[in-house]
Amino acid sequence: MIDRRKAEEWFFRVLMFFSTVIIATALFLIIFSILYSGLPHLTWEMISSVPKGGFYFGKEGGILNAIIGSLYLSMGSTILAFLFGLPLALFMNVHLIRRRKLVNGIRFVMDLLWGVPSIVYGAFGFTIMVFFGIRASLLAGIITVTLFIIPIMVRGMDEILQSVPRGLLESSLSLGSTRSETSYRVFLKQCVPGVITAVLLSFGRAIGDAASILFTTGYTDHIPTSLTQPTATLPLAIFFQLSSPIPEVRERAYAAAVILVFIILTISMLSRFFSRKYQKNKINF
């Protein structure tokens, strides 16, 4: 009897070990295969020049327009989401701290919104565009992506703010500061690295998503100079070139994928750095 029990445990432990290994290898394989197929085709010309007409058909030029476009788009929407997200997160954790049910309700709605597929935001962005008569442009893209990352931003900052000890709130209030002063001067200062992590996380989401901007940003060979112009982005550049029948163009898609992976890995490492710093700065009561 005992042997069978041991054998079963051993069997499942082997399975468990293997599934952990599978997950780690999957990440390694994905990054390795992107680098393997993309790196040989990555040239400085690709990073530093805009397409010289008909890039899609395998002509000269690079994807600078998509890189810059992606940065414009995700920076714009991250800033906009931050402007709405930060006050809301502080409001939830300072002003509404006694109203547990309401705060939990807001958290619940945020989590629900987080689960909404980005293509739905894309379709919605399109209906807004039609409704207000805007063309596909950087502005329309920024609005759509902002809606998409607000829940990520709010929940990220909320998680961090929740960890602020309650004594800090009470001592700040008892010294005579208002709740808003406490929010921005005490809570925000206490959580700066954590807030940066949340911002970076949202930025990573914004720069990587393709479905939400498919309808809204349009596509162009030029670097946009105003908000009302259409914009190329990296994910869409990869997506469009990937479906090309010309192998050369597809190879450029792989190279563009290397650039995107590089950006994502950098963001991820930065946010790891900040969240570690956060643990060091924290006051222990």
Partner 1 sequence: MIVSLVVVLAIPLVLMSGLLYKSAVLLEEHSMFNLLFSKEWKPLSGQFGFYTFIISSLWVTVVSLLIAAPICLLTAIHLTQYAKRWVLNLMHPVIDLLAGIPSVIFGVWGILVVVPAIADHIAPFFGKSVSGYSILAGAIVLSIMIIPFILNILIELFRNIPTELKEASLSLGATKWQTIKLVLIKKILPGIVSAFGLGMSRAFGETIAVLIVVGNVTQIPKGIFQPGYPLPALIANNYGEMLSIPMYDSALMLAALILFVIVLFFNFISRVIIIKSNKHN
**Interaction of residue 120 with partner 1, rule CB under 8 A:** yes
**Interaction of residue 131 with partner 1, rule CB under 8 A:** yes
The DSSP code sequence of 69-123 is HHHHHHHHHHHHHHHHHHHHHHIIIIITTT-HHHHHHHHHHHHHHHHS-HHHHHH
**Interaction of residue 261 with partner 1, rule CB under 8 A:** yes
**Interaction of residue 199 with partner 1, rule CB under 8 A:** no
User: For the stretch 196-205, what's the b/e string if a residue is b when 16 or more beta carbons lie within 10 angstroms of its beta carbon?
Assistant: bbbbbbbbbb
Shortest distance, position 187 Cβ to partner 1, whole Å: 12
Cα 52 to Cα 223: distance, rounded to the nearest angstrom: 12
**Interaction of residue 266 with partner 1, rule CB under 8 A:** no
Of 75, 119, 134, 223, the one binding partner 1 by CB under 8 A:
119
Which residues touch 171 (CB under 8 Å, ≥6 apart)? Answer: none
Q: Contact at 8 Å (CB) between 234 and 164? A: no
Of 1, 3, 24, 132, the one binding partner 1 by CB under 8 A:
24
Cα 73 to Cα 33: distance, rounded to the nearest angstrom: 28
Cα 236 to Cα 226: distance, rounded to the nearest angstrom: 20
Q: Contact at 8 Å (CB) between 94 and 166? A: no
Stretch that binds partner 1, among 15-23, 157-165, 222-230, 277-285 (CB under 8 A): 15-23
Shortest distance, position 101 Cβ to partner 1, whole Å: 12
Of 72, 124, 187, 278, the one binding partner 1 by CB under 8 A:
124
> In the complex with partner 1, which residue's Cβ is closer, 50 or 260?
260
Cα 73 to Cα 207: distance, rounded to the nearest angstrom: 8
Residue 66 CB: number of other CB atoms within 10 A? 29
| Residue 174, token pair as written in the block | 């008892």
Shortest distance, position 72 Cβ to partner 1, whole Å: 17
> In the complex with partner 1, which residue's Cβ is closer, 52 or 276?
276
In the range 39-58, which residues lie near partner 1 by CB under 8 A?
A: none
User: 66: closest CA among 246, 235, 278, 275?
Assistant: 235
In the range 134-163, which residues lie near partner 1 by CB under 8 A?
A: 147, 150, 154
> In the complex with partner 1, which residue's Cβ is closer, 115 or 133?
115
In the range 70-109, which residues lie near partner 1 by CB under 8 A?
A: 83-85, 87-88, 90-91, 95, 106, 108-109
Of 60, 111, 170, 248, the one binding partner 1 by CB under 8 A:
111
Q: Contact at 8 Å (CB) between 159 and 110? A: no
Of 264, 273, 277, 282, the one binding partner 1 by CB under 8 A:
264
Shortest distance, position 54 Cβ to partner 1, whole Å: 19
> In the complex with partner 1, which residue's Cβ is closer, 44 or 132?
132
Stretch that binds partner 1, among 39-47, 56-64, 160-168, 231-239 (CB under 8 A): 231-239
